Amino acid sequence: MMSTSFLYCASQQTLNYKHLTISFPFNFSTMVLKGITVNYLNKDSVSYQADAVNDTSFTVKTQKDLDEFLGGYVKGFLTSMGSDFNTEISDTSIGGARGKYLHLYSPTLQHKSKEVFAFLTILANQSYQVIAAIYGGIDETSRMRIKKFFESMKFQGSQLSPG
């Protein structure tokens, strides 16, 4: 019998995109949609996604700018998800970048996504969102893959632009 960590490592694929490095549990696909580079994988009732907005017109010079940007980013993300989720939001740092961590879960079985985990941030005037969504029953192997997906996230660069 193989261990869960071996199953994860045996087929993982690493994404190196601008300021983000992250390991998907299996081979992923990439597409550009409305100026957003979307890297995604759907496997075993879980969707993994790491997106980067290609428009670098965002300018974050101060901590206040960062906080305002993240607040707007969260509001837009939640609007796009719809209102039938319970939501938990926390300020955190993952992989060297400050951002917002969101946990959304649907109390009803009517929504396609049962649980969504997301990390939203901006680095070097480039916004990123890393998402894992559960679409069906979830087992421990899938939970381990989601955990490792988020733990593998590494950012390089400055969150604040030079004055």
DSSP 1-38: ---HHHHHHHS-EEEEETTEEEEESS--EEEEETTEEE
Q: For the chain, which residues make up each domain, given as ranges?
A: 4-138
pTM of the prediction? 0.85
State the pLDDT confidence band at 162, using cuts at 50, 70 and 90: low
pLDDT in tens, 122-151: 887 788 999 998 887 767 888 888 999 999
**Which of the four CATH numbers 1.10.760, 1.10.1740, 2.20.25, 3.40.1000 does domain 4-138 have?**
3.40.1000
